[in-house]
Structure 1
Amino acid sequence: MNAFTVVALLHCFLLAALVQSAPVSLPSNPSQTFKEAVERVMRLVEKIRKDVRSVHGSIINIDGLTLDPSSQTGQLEMMRITLGIPDTPVLKELSEQFTADMCVSRMLAGGRLYQGLLVDLSGRLGGLEALSAELRDLVTHINQMKDTAQLSSDSSDQSSLDLTLNLHGNYDVQVAAHLTLCQLLEFCHDLIRSLRNMALYRPGISWEHTAGM
């Protein structure tokens, strides 16, 4: 085998190794791809926020149960605890203490929580199915956003909840639906704020560096 043949073979082997090890799954522009994923989630959240108001107006028929924050009394808070409606996962501004991974984990936890609550309530009250499907889509979109930026999420606390066990009559069902929709609306507000913050995140760059831009 002459020297030219040896060099040619080595070149072929090197080229094959480089192609095999190339990170083909990464987008060519991670920051732009991530920003587009964030915008898709934000558009869906805006739609959910509008639909919550529409659904509440069509299914809640007890006087005094409105989406006005001033109507949320201490008695309703006690009912929330009695009915077993969980608190909303808290979303904070991105920082070294509250990372993008933590933020997306809580986004997913909130989306799954309210989808599950609406599925439970759908068995006792009509008109919630479409909103539940939108929340299922929201979880899918947030997962896509997470994967685009190669973020990780903590799914260790995925305990199941059957809200219907605590609903003993129409009044309980109405109050539970009202409280769930109120919390979901507030969660959407928090999501929009966090998504705007997430839009500044640069995949592959530490938040400390991003925040200084």
Structure 2
Amino acid sequence: MNTLTAVALLHCFLFAVLVRSAPVGPASEPPAAFREAAERAKTLVEKILRDLPAVHAATVTTEGLTLDPSTETTNLQLMVTSLGIPAAPVLKPLSERFTLDMCVSRMMAGGQLYQGLLGVLSERLSGLKDLRADLRDLLTHINKMKVAAQVSSDSPDQNQRLDLASRLHGNYEVQVGVHLTLTQLRSFCHDLIRSLRAIATYRPRSAGTR
């Protein structure tokens, strides 16, 4: 190998090293419309969490059905299956495996799930109107996040069929249905708060950072 060839190869090697190690520009921030919608959604979820105890007290009068997790019994867990109440979509920390698209889509699917459940239950029991209105507004803000972030994927849970109405045979089933729905909604709202806080400051991975 002559000297000129060796020098040329060395220059190519050094250039490749510099390209790989060059600092990458700052990751783009979420659009302002996305951050604003996320903040409004978070404020509304906080309101729902504050209102849930009062809604539960006003609608669930059967003794032993409280929001205290320590009072949950095996029978109530069996009633979840018996009444056909689906589990909420799982929300995870953002990562390459759990993308912003997946997170926002699952937020939407969860909101639609509980909006649907409360719609069925409100036909048998009063006192759920305001909560349903808050969920409707929450879905509006999540949809704005979806548009601002150009999220295109849809969760397969979004249009799942609800069989709750056909299984509410009496007042006890209605009471248990409301209790379980409000309990699960509270848990989902806690997950929503954590996710909304995380994605409000989310920085997507820039090209060249792999």
- After the TM superposition, which residues 25-64 of structure 1 pair with which residues of structure 2 at under 5 Å, given as runs? 30-64=30-64
**Alignment partner, residue 87 of structure 2:** 87
TM-score normalised by structure 1 residue count: 0.79
**Alignment partner, residue 161 of structure 1:** 162
Q: Is the 8 A contact 1:42 1:195 kept in 2?
A: yes
**Alignment partner, residue 134 of structure 1:** 134
Q: 1:60 to 1:208 in 2, by over 3 A?
A: farther
Instruction: Tell me the distance in 1 between the aligned counterparts of 2:84 and 2:30.
Output: 41
Give the number of aligned pairs. Answer: 181
Deviation at 1:30, TM superposition (A): 4.8
| Bigger mean CA deviation after superposition, 184-193 or 131-140 | 131-140
Identity fraction in percent: 61
After superposition, give the CA deviation of every residue in 1:46-92 in whole Å (9 maximum; x if it has no partner): 11111221100111111111111111111100011101101111000
Deviation at 1:207, TM superposition (A): 7.6
Q: Is the 8 A contact 1:91 1:106 kept in 2?
A: yes
After superposition, give the CA deviation of every residue in 1:131-166 in whole Å (9 maximum; x if it has no partner): 112111111110101111222231554133241100
Q: State the AA in 2 paired with 1:104.
A: V
- After the TM superposition, which residues 85-164 of structure 1 pair with which residues of structure 2 at under 5 Å, given as runs? 85-157=85-157, 158-164=159-165
Structure 1 residue ranges (4+ consecutive) displaced by more than 4 angstroms after TM superposition? 207-210
Q: Aligned to 1:96, what secondary structure does the other structure show?
A: coil
Q: Is the 8 A contact 1:95 1:208 kept in 2?
A: no
Q: Is the 8 A contact 1:95 1:207 kept in 2?
A: no
Instruction: Tell me the distance in 2 between the aligned counterparts of 1:208 and 1:78.
Output: 48
Q: In structure 1, list runs of 5 or more residues that go unmatched.
A: 1-28
Q: State the AA in 1 paired with 2:170.
A: G
TM-score normalised by structure 2 residue count: 0.80
| Bigger mean CA deviation after superposition, 65-74 or 145-154 | 145-154
Q: Is the 8 A contact 1:60 1:174 kept in 2?
A: yes
Q: Aligned to 1:34, what secondary structure does the other structure show?
A: helix
Deviation at 1:32, TM superposition (A): 3.4
Q: In structure 2, list runs of 5 or more residues that go unmatched.
A: 1-28
